[in-house]
């Protein structure tokens, strides 16, 4: 029992250390990529403090952190103090708590009498997936608390947008999770990764439509561009963290970054085979020390690649308008999310036997069906609902008004007031 | 402007093609653009170590200088046209009768407040004798406000620093003339 507590504490310390350092350095990477994409060089000056050694700017996170720590922590007089202080903490706890169930396989240290150690803080947790999404979704409470307690219209708008966005995108997200869980036959993340490793077929190949829906939904949930509506700088100043500064702001920003890392971790775990790579990591649940190290490296590389794609995506596509965001969630992603679920349910409830294929050929057929579904659904959506529509002034009314008086029947001609705000209250 | 104004010309967007409706070509276009820029050469200059290179330093509008003539005297005739043209009112001139026979006045004091100056170059355009010019020096800094008021001596020293790289107009015109005369001379022989 004592051993278990020590083991868990060590794991928590390791995970927190890696996460905090990782988040700090990912900020630097994000700044680099932003600079390179804009034909700039990016931060490259800060190296070892008190020397002239630059190290390509690798000291920048330390400088940034110190700056935020020593900055004045200004609390506006009009805020609700309790909730205001609670906001960043809630978000941060939720963002970190997710990592309790991220599986990296088991390692056999080779010491006799020791059982293989799970490289997960909470190993073999039966409801890991449910817990993970509960914790991930709980982060929005901190955002709403912060936005509400700030007593500022822009902050509140940001918080409300975050809430609306989360509710909208939880649904397609859950639908895709149903598919993955149903396919794995378990809610344990270890099992899901193990299944991908043992069959050697990653879920992205088998469930492409699910992957697309999941990817979009998880990006929206992490509030990354093009879905960063809760904190659109151009519209809402800073959104929910407009009134925050110093350490509290840093807590929010780090949590936000952790959300992106969470999203990348989830994509890798559920669709890109977790720690598995063909011919490199093996597929047994337990690995030796070297094998376990290799698995961690493979996992980290995959996560970093996904994060890199997130960062590139940020500069590639413009931000959605809020109505477009909602439209995408409710009218596109939710119907899309149901399609692979129906296919998989049909597959397990007799479709497999109907087609009379077993094992590998059966899986190949499932993959083909799912790819066909992706293409079909994409084409149908594209042709049925135009992706953009006009929100400029009603041109038919404008044209009508510009015609000469006589040409228009009485009563049809719109008055100038039809599209102008009225100021009746001023009188 | 009202929406029904006849000055507005409404332009209808062309309808989206089936490929555009699927968003896919647009996604790929956005990604290829960012990927291309990710590896393209960077335009940032590492300032204190590297310095920006001007295609033509003569047309750059940086720190002012007061030109000297062939005899090394200040070229200014204290006509106040630059001070009048200056939209920021940063030029302060005190004139005195000239000790030289070729002009009536010369400046005893010629101060430019670099903190007020907006580097518009209007003084250069206004000057009838091409005495004031803007150089390509751009890294201007000082530790006090007084230090940033450039007096006549300092402006003349700017000229001494920059005359080789950016010769004043009278020197350029003289060179052009010499080139022409030497060309015609060689052409005749």
Three-state secondary structure call for residue A72: coil
CB spacing of A37 vs B10 below 8 angstroms: no
- Can you tell me the distance from the alpha carbon of B64 to that of B149, in angstroms, rounded to the nearest whole number? 12
Contacts with A242 (C-beta within 8 Å, 6 or more apart), sequence order: A150, A152, A154, A155, A158, A236
Residue A120: strand, helix, or coil = coil
Of the candidates A128, A316, A409, the residue with the CA atom closest to the CA atom of residue B30? A316
pLDDT per residue as tens, chain B (189 positions): 666 666 777 676 677 777 777 788 888 988 999 999 888 888 888 888 888 888 888 888 889 999 888 888 888 898 999 999 999 999 999 999 988 888 899 999 999 999 999 999 899 999 998 889 898 888 888 899 988 999 888 898 888 888 888 888 778 888 888 877 776 655 544
Q: Does B42 touch chain A (CB under 8 A)?
A: yes
Indicate the angle between helix axes A359-384 and A334-346, nearest 10 degrees.
150
> What secondary structure does DSSP assign to B108-162, as a single string?
EEEEEETTT-----HHHHH-TTS-EEE-S------SSTGGGEE-HHHHHHHHHHH
Give the number of beta-carbon pairs within 8 Å between A and B: 65
**How many residues in chain B?**
189
Going by C-beta distance under 8 Å and a sequence separation of 6 or more, which residues neighbour residue A265?
Answer: A99, A102, A303
Residues of chain A with pLDDT under 50: 419-427
The beta-carbon neighbor of B22 closest among A40, A379, A388 is A379
pLDDT, tens only, A110-125: 666 667 677 677 777 7
Q: Identify the residue among B5, B20, B32, B38 best suited for mutation to test binding to A, counting A beta carbons within 10 A and taking the highest.
A: B38
Q: In the prediction, which pLDDT does A215 show?
A: 92
Confidence at residue A425, expressed as pLDDT on a 0 to 100 scale: 44
Any bridge partners for residue B92, and if so which?
B111
Which of B9, B17, B34, B41 should be substituted to probe chain A, the one whose Cβ sees the most A Cβ atoms within 10 Å?
B34
The ipTM estimated for the assembled molecules is 0.71
A81 Cβ under 8 Å from any chain B Cβ: no
State the nearest Cα–Cα gap between A223 and chain B, in angstroms: 19
Whether a cis peptide bond, with omega within 30° of 0, leads into A211 is: no
Residue that the structure tokens 């997130």 belong to = A310
Look at strands A106-107 and A286-287 and give their pairing: parallel
**Angle formed by the axes of helices A208-221 and A153-184, nearest 10°:** 150
* 26-55 of A, contacting B, C-beta below 8 A: 33, 36-41
B112-148 tens-digit pLDDT: 999 999 999 899 999 998 889 898 888 888 899 988 9
Residue-wise pLDDT for A282-340, tens only, equals 777 666 777 778 888 888 899 899 999 998 888 888 888 887 888 888 888 898 989 98
Chain A nearest-CA distance from B44, in A, is 5
């Amino acid at each position: 029992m004592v051993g278990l507590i020590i083991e868990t504490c060590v794991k928590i310390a390791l995970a927190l250390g890696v996460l905090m350092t990782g988040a700090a350095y990912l900020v630097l990477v994000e700044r680099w990529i932003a600079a390179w994409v804009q034909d700039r060089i990016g931060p490259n000056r800060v190296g070892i403090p008190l020397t002239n050694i630059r190290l390509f700017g690798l000291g920048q996170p330390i400088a940034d952190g110190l700056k935020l720590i020593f900055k004045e922590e200004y609390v506006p007089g009009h805020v609700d103090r309790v909730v205001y202080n609670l906001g960043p903490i809630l978000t941060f706890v939720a963002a970190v708590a997710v990592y309790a169930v991220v599986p990296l396989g088991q390692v056999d240290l080779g010491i006799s009498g020791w059982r293989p150690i799970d490289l997960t803080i909470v190993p073999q947790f039966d409801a890991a997936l449910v817990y993970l999404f509960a914790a991930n979704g709980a982060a929005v409470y901190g955002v709403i608390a912060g936005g509400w307690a700030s007593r500022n219209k822009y902050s509140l708008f940001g918080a409300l947008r975050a809430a609306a966005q989360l509710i909208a995108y939880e649904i397609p997200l859950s639908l895709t999770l149903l598919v993955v869980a149903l396919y794995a036959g378990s809610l344990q993340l270890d099992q899901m990764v193990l299944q991908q490793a043992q069959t050697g077929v990653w879920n992205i190949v088998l469930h492409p439509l699910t992957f697309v829906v999941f990817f979009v939904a998880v990006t929206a949930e992490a509030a990354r561009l093009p879905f960063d509506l809760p904190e659109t700088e151009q519209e809402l100043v800073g959104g929910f963290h407009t009134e925050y500064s110093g350490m509290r702001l840093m807590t929010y920003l780090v949590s936000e970054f952790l959300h992106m890392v969470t999203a990348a971790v989830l994509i890798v775990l559920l669709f890109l085979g977790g720690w598995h790579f063909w011919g490199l990591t093996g597929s047994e649940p337990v690995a030796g020390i070297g094998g376990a190290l290799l698995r961690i490296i493979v996992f980290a590389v995959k996560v970093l690649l996904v994060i890199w794609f997130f960062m590139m995506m940020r500069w590639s596509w413009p931000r959605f308008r809020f109505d477009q965001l909602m439209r995408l969630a409710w009218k596109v992603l939710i119907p899309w999310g149901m399609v692979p679920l129906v296919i998989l349910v049909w597959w397990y409830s007799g479709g497999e036997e109907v087609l009379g294929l077993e094992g590998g050929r059966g899986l190949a057929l499932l993959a083909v069906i799912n790819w066909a579904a992706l293409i079909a659904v994409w084409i149908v959506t594209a042709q049925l609902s135009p992706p953009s529509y006009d929100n400029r002034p009603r041109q038919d009314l404008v044209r009508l008004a510009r015609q000469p008086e006589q040409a228009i029947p009485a009563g049809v001609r719109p008055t100038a007031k039809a599209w102008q705000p009225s100021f009746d209250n001023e009188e | 402007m009202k929406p029904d104004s006849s000055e507005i010309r409404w332009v209808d967007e062309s309808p989206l093609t089936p490929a555009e409706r699927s968003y896919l070509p647009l996604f790929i276009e956005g990604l290829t653009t960012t990927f291309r820029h990710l590896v393209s050469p960077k335009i940032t200059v590492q300032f204190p170590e590297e310095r920006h290179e001007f295609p033509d330093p003569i047309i750059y509008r940086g720190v002012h200088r007061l030109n000297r003539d062939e005899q090394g005297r200040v070229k200014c005739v204290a006509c106040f046209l630059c001070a009048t043209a200056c939209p920021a009112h940063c030029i302060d001139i005190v004139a005195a009768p000239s000790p030289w026979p070729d002009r009536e006045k010369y400046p005893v004091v010629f101060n430019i407040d670099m903190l007020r100056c907006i580097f518009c170059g209007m003084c250069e355009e206004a000057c009838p004798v091409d005495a004031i010019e803007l150089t390509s020096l751009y890294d201007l800094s000082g530790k006090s406000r007084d230090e940033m008021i450039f007096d006549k001596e300092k402006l003349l020293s700017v000229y001494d620093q920059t005359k080789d790289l950016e010769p004043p107009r009278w020197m350029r015109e003289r060179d052009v003339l010499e080139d022409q005369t030497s060309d015609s001379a060689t052409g005749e022989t």
